[in-house]
Amino acid sequence: MENFSELNLNESLKHSIARMYFKIPTPIQAQAIPPALLGKDILGTAQTGTGKTLCYGIACINKLLNDRDSNALIICPTRELAVQVGDVLNGLIENTMNIKSAVLIGGESMQKQLRQLQKHPRLIIGTPGRLNDHLKRKSLKLHQSYFLVLDETDRMLDMGFVNDIKKVIAVLPKERQTLLFSATYSDSIKKLSNNILKSPTLIEVARANTSSETVKQAIYHVDKTRKRELLTHLINEENWKQVLVFTRTKHGANR
């Protein structure tokens, strides 16, 4: 697949993809979208930033458009990722599609989320803990969720969400399509995928712990009191056009 126009998609989805100027698919999109559109389970290994969201988003919305009796559930490790995924997918959903969505995340008003659920959304995006909160309250019904996505699954397992994930999956239909994406392919990922995927299509875009060939990497051992001095020196010497600095705290970022 070299162009999104080659895909056998619902016409309204084709229109929204063109509207958002998506033309050339990324490697994981080119490999994963065609089998996903055929209803196959997917086990994808790809790093953050490879285009996974649009990858499963296109397959998800196409499913909802072609099967009006089906709902979809996307599980994310963090509230930030869930919001980001919601923004991308809602950007693909046009008013004429009549697909409502809800983002269910911790740290946000439960009443606000209950109001969203009262509108009977067909697309649910959420974090494991808050999804279970709604299941306990019986405010969330997932018996028609025939399309499931686990995004950044390795992070969810690292964060201790495995039991929460299993509780959610336990109430889903047995016959469904499941797409699992992870940056790594650890033993825990293998075990989970063996339990929830059926004859999945395996896709590996980039090996774990690899970096771009265009990125130069170096390590500088420096006393913590001289970190800013070193950073200033590097910026002045290298004359970089743009610099991204990661810090541990807001205070450090402000400094």
State pLDDT tens for residues 144-198: 999 999 999 999 999 999 999 999 999 999 999 999 999 988 899 999 999 999 9
DSSP H helices, the chain, are 11-19, 27-37, 52-66, 79-92, 110-117, 128-137, 153-158, 162-170, 187-196, 227-238, 250-254
Report which DSSP code applies to 225. G
The pair of three-digit structure tokens given for residue 129, joined into one six-digit string: 């803990």
Q: Within 10 A of 14 (CB to CB), how many other CB atoms are there? A: 16
Q: How many CA atoms lie within 13 A of 112 on its CB side?
A: 9
Whole-structure pTM value = 0.81
Q: What is the pLDDT of residues 10-49, one digit of tens each?
A: 999 999 999 998 989 999 999 999 999 999 999 999 887 8
